[in-house]
Amino acid sequence: MDAHREQLRSYRDWVQAELRACVNFWLKHGMDREHGGVYTCLDRTGQIYSTDKSVWMQGRCGWTFSYLCHVYGPRQEWLDAAKSCIDFLEDHCINPDAAGRMYFTVTAEGRPLRQRRYCFSEGFYALANAEYYGVTGRKEHLERARRAYELIWQLNQGLIADPAGLGPKTIPETRTGRALANPMIYLNITSVLRRVDPEQQALYDERARQCAQEIFKYHVKPDLRCTLENVDPEGNPRLYYTEGRTVNPGHDIECVWFLLEYADRIGDKKLHEGAEQIFNWAIEAGWDEEYGGLLYFVDCLRKPPEAYEHDMKLWWPHNEILISSLMLYRDTGEEKYLTWFDRTVAYCKEHFADPENGEWYGYLRRDGLPTMPSTKGSTFKGPFHLPRSLIMCDVMLGELLGGGAGAFAPEN
CB count, 10 Å around CB of 209? 16
- Virtual CA dihedral for 58, 64, 69, 70, nearest 10 degrees? 120
- Virtual CA dihedral for 274, 278, 281, 287, nearest 10 degrees? -150
Element spanning 231, H or E: strand 230-231
Report yes or no: 300 and 224 within 8 Å, Cβ to Cβ.
yes
- Ranges under pLDDT 70 in the chain: 1, 404-412
Q: Which CATH architecture has domain 2-400?
A: Alpha/alpha barrel (1.50)
What pTM does this model have? 0.97
> Helices marked H in 352-402 — which ranges?
385-400
The C-alpha atoms of residue 162 and residue 181 are separated, in whole angstroms, by: 17
The C-alpha atoms of residue 338 and residue 347 are separated, in whole angstroms, by: 14
At residue 340, the pLDDT reads 98
DSSP letter (8 states) at residue 168: -
At residue 230, the pLDDT reads 97
At residue 155, the pLDDT reads 96
At residue 3, the pLDDT reads 85
Element spanning 242, H or E: none
Q: Is 394 left (phi over 0), alpha (psi -120 to 50) or beta?
A: alpha
Report yes or no: 411 and 20 within 8 Å, Cβ to Cβ.
yes
Which neighbouring-strand residues pair with 42?
Answer: 48
At residue 409, the pLDDT reads 56
The C-alpha atoms of residue 346 and residue 350 are separated, in whole angstroms, by: 6
Question: pLDDT tens digits, residue range 225-265?
Answer: 999 999 999 999 999 999 999 999 999 999 999 999 999 99
At residue 1, the pLDDT reads 55
- Domain spans, the chain: 2-400
